[in-house]
Structure 1
C-alpha cells in the first residue's frame, strides 16, 4: 500500500474539506477483493474494511479529511454553476504496482456544500446497479471505474423514482481520476487562469503519461480526445447506454463513471435511452459519440484561456478519426476477428451493423455466435435469415480469428429482464445469491474473452483501467 495526497496539492480552490455522515448500521454487502489488490487493501479484515469504507477512518499517509470536489457542468445541455460533489467525496489516493494514481471516491456518504438541499444519500438499489454495470463493463473490456465496496447503512430514504422508503447504502469507487471536464469549466467560469495552468500541468504530469508534459493545453486536449474516443467506441460495441453524459460525468482519463440509469441494448436500437427523464433522447445510444464530442468542444473552449486556438482546434479534430478507428477495431475483435485493413474491416463492420439493425437479433448472442462459428449458430439461427448467415460466413472466413476456449456454461447478460429478479430477491427476501451469481458470471465472461481484449488493445489509446489487475 503506497498512499498519496496528490489532489490536495492542487489547493483549496478545487475542493472543500467535509465530514462524512454517521450511519446507524454498517452491513458489508460487497467487497471487491480483486480491485482491492491493485492498491494493497486486500489484506484488510472486514472490520477494518468497514472502518475505512463505511466510517471513513483516514488511511495513514493519504488524505486526512474527505474532499468534496468543486466543478461545474452542462447538464442535458444547460450550464449549471451550482454543482459539485453533492453526495460523495474523494477520501484516499494510492499508487498501484505500476505507480499510477488510483482514487477512492464515494457515493451516498453524506451532505456537502454542494448537496443543493439533497440528503447526500444513495439507495441500496443504486449501489447494486452500479456494481453490476461496472462488473459487466470490465468483463467486456470497457474502461470503467470499479465498484470497490458497498455497505448498507440502515436508513430509510424517500425517493420519487424508487418504491419508498428505500434501503440506504454507501458505495466506494476506485478510479484513476476524479478530474472532470466540469473541473475545467468551473475555472474558466471564474477566469482562474493560474489555477487552470496548474491543473493542466497536474493532469499531464500525473494522469496522462503518454503525453509531453511540456505540451500544455493542446497536449492535454488531444490526450483526452484519444481516451474519450476509445471509451465511447467501447460503449457502442458493448451495447452500453450511459444515460447521463453531462460534462461533469466525463473525466480526463477516459473511464466510465456515474452511469446510474445505465442500460444495455437487447437489440440494436439507436434511439434507446437509459434515463427516464431524457425525453428528447439527447443521450440515446447512437448519439453518445456526438455527446462526448460536444463535451470536448467545451473543454477546448475552457483551455483557450491558457492555450493557442489553432493547436487546440487541431487537437479537437483528432476525436472523430480516433473514434472511428477504435469502433472498427473493437467491433471486429468482438466478432472474434483480427483486423486486416481499414478498407476490408469497414465492409465487415457495416455488414454486421446492417444485419443487427435489419433483423433485430439479440445483440450479445450475435457476437457470441460469430466468435464460435465452428459450433454453429447456437443462439441466433432462428432469428437470422439464411442470407444473412451466409453473407457473414463468407466475409468472416477471410479473417484470422482470435482463439477462445469453449465456455463451460452460458454467461448472464444484463438487460432489464435479467436485472429485475436480482433486485427483487434482495428487496423481498434479502437474498443476495442471484446478485453474487451475476457478479461471478460477469467475471467468468471477462476471463473467457480476455484474449479479445489483448487484441483490441493493440493501437488503442492507453486508458489506464484496461490494465487494472
Structure 2
C-alpha cells in the first residue's frame, strides 16, 4: 500500500535567489476582489510543514500571497523561451504565474510553490494573467488521477476563487476566476536553457546546470558514457532518463497531455501545466487532447517521440557548454530507457511482477493488441485483468509465468475502476458552476486517493530524484 507523504517541519530554503538577477523578474500579486478557499491539499502540505496553517492563514498566503516566513520576499516570474508546436518563440516567460516560495521536504529535497492565475507579469503579452475556476478544477482532477496512477506529477496544492468575471474564447463566458498554487520539485524548463543559448549567456548556463545538479540530483551516467564527468553531460543523462520514464508513465496511464512544448518540460522530470488534457476512452494512438492540434503533433501515440524531440532541443542548448558527441550518446539512450520503463510500469499497473525487459515487451504488445481489439478503455482493461485475472487466448499466453502481486485492498473487489473521462470532468464542473456543489469533486478526489493506495508505490524511474 502506498504510504502517505512523509510529514515534515517547515524549512524555508531559497537557492533560486542565487540566480534571481537573470532568471526572473520580481513581481507583485494581483489584488483580487475576494479570496474564497476552495481546495487545500493538506496531504501534501504536511510534507512541507504547512498543514497546520488555519484557513485564514492559508488564504493570506495562497490568495493574497503574503510571503511565507523566511521565504522569498517577492514572487519571481521566470524567464524562458520555447518551441511551441515546433515553432521557436522567444517571447515567453511566466505570464500568469510565478515562483512564490521554496522549502525542503522531509527527505531534504527542494520543493517549489508556483502559481497560475496570480496576475500579470512582464511576460503576460496580451493576456490578463488570470485563470478560470474551471481550469483550476481540471488541474485538481488531472494531478490527483495521475498521482494515483504513479505518474511523477506536480501536485495541486491550493485553489482560491477570486471573484472576477473572465472572458474566454474556448468556454462559456463570463466565467469564474481562481488562483492556483502547485507544489513541485522545480520550475526549471528546457525552455529556460534555450533562452540562455539564444542570448549566448554561457556563464549563466554554467550556473543553471550546477543549480539543477544540486537541487534535482540523480544517479551518475553509465560507466561507459563519454564525457560523464562534465556537469552538462551529467544533467543531459538525467533529463533523458526522466523524460523517457515520464513518456512511459503517460502511456501506461492512458493520458494525453496535449501541449508538449519545450517550455512545458520540467528538467526535474515532473509532468505539469495541465491545459487541454484528456484520458483515453479507448486505446487509440491518434487520439488528441487539444482542439488546436490540427496535425496531431501531440497525439497519444506520438508523446514519446515528442519528449525525445524536446530532449534534442535540450542537447542543442547544452552545446553552449560541451561538444555534441557525449550529448548525442545520452540521447541514444532514450529509446531503450523508454521501453524498459513501459514494461516496468505496465507490469506495475497490471499487478504482476516484472520478468525483465524482453518478456515485459512481449506482454505489453499482447495487451495493446487485446486493448485495440476489445475497444475497452485502459482503465477497464487494467482493472479487469489485474493480476492476470480473466485473461484468455494470446493474452493468457503472454501472462503465462507472470506472478500476481498481492492485492488485499478493497478497491480491487469493486465493480468498476476509477476513470477520468471528459464526461465526468464536465459533470463535476457543472455541479460547481450551476449549483456551487463541491461534493462531487471532494468525493472524486477521495476515490482517486483510494485507488492510489490500492496500486501502491510505483516503480522508481531511472534518473529519479535522490
TM-score normalised by structure 2 residue count = 0.94
- Give me the whole-angstrom Cα distance separating, in 1, the residues matched to 2:36 and 2:122: 27
Partner-residue secondary structure (3-state), 1:71? coil
- Give me the whole-angstrom Cα distance separating, in 1, the residues matched to 2:31 and 2:404: 54
Match among 133, 138, 143 for residue 147 of structure 2:
138
Residue 434 of structure 1 corresponds to 440
Bigger shift: residues 324-333 or 148-157: 324-333
Residue 176 of structure 2 corresponds to 167
Deviation at 1:389, TM superposition (A): 2.2
Residue 59 of structure 1 corresponds to 68
CA contact (8 A) 2:189 2:264 kept: yes
Bigger shift: residues 311-320 or 144-153: 311-320
Bigger shift: residues 95-104 or 409-418: 409-418
Residue 380 of structure 1 corresponds to none
- 1:321-376 deviation line (CA, Å, top 9, x unaligned): 111110111112211111113222222111111111222122111111111555xx
Deviation at 1:391, TM superposition (A): 2.6
CA-based RMSD of the aligned residues comes to 1.5
CA contact (8 A) 1:4 1:62 kept: yes
Residue 366 of structure 1 corresponds to 381
Indicate yes or no: 2:101 matched with 1:92. yes
- Give me the whole-angstrom Cα distance separating, in 1, the residues matched to 2:126 and 2:185: 29
Partner-residue secondary structure (3-state), 1:286? helix
Indicate yes or no: 2:451 matched with 1:448. no
- 1:13-52 deviation line (CA, Å, top 9, x unaligned): 1000001000011111000000101100000000000010
**Uncovered stretches (5+) of structure 2, i.e. residues with no partner:** 1-9, 222-227
Residue 272 of structure 1 corresponds to 287
- 1:167-199 deviation line (CA, Å, top 9, x unaligned): 000000000010000000000000001111111
Residue 201 of structure 1 corresponds to 210
Match among 421, 428, 431 for residue 425 of structure 1:
431
Partner-residue secondary structure (3-state), 1:104? strand
CA contact (8 A) 1:411 1:442 kept: no
Deviation at 1:412, TM superposition (A): 2.8
Deviation at 1:214, TM superposition (A): 5.4
Match among 219, 226, 239 for residue 210 of structure 1:
219
Residue 3 of structure 2 corresponds to none
TM-score normalised by structure 1 residue count = 0.93
- Give me the whole-angstrom Cα distance separating, in 2, the residues matched to 1:277 and 1:441: 32
Residue 199 of structure 2 corresponds to 190
Indicate yes or no: 2:85 matched with 1:76. yes
- Give me the whole-angstrom Cα distance separating, in 2, the residues matched to 1:399 and 1:24: 58
- Give me the whole-angstrom Cα distance separating, in 1, the residues matched to 2:25 and 2:220: 30
CA contact (8 A) 1:204 1:211 kept: no
Partner-residue secondary structure (3-state), 1:422? helix
- Give me the whole-angstrom Cα distance separating, in 2, the residues matched to 1:40 and 1:354: 46
Deviation at 1:293, TM superposition (A): 0.7
Distance 1:373 1:293, change over 3 A: closer
- 1:61-114 deviation line (CA, Å, top 9, x unaligned): 110100000000000110000010000000100000111000000000000000
Query: What does residue range 232-311 of structure 1 map to in structure 2 within 5 Å?
Result: 232-311=247-326
Bigger shift: residues 338-347 or 237-246: 338-347
- 1:295-337 deviation line (CA, Å, top 9, x unaligned): 1111100101101221111111111111111011111221111
CA contact (8 A) 2:219 2:464 kept: no
Match among 220, 234, 238 for residue 235 of structure 2:
220
Indicate yes or no: 2:346 matched with 1:331. yes
**Uncovered stretches (5+) of structure 1, i.e. residues with no partner:** 378-387
Indicate yes or no: 2:157 matched with 1:148. yes
Bigger shift: residues 346-355 or 282-291: 346-355
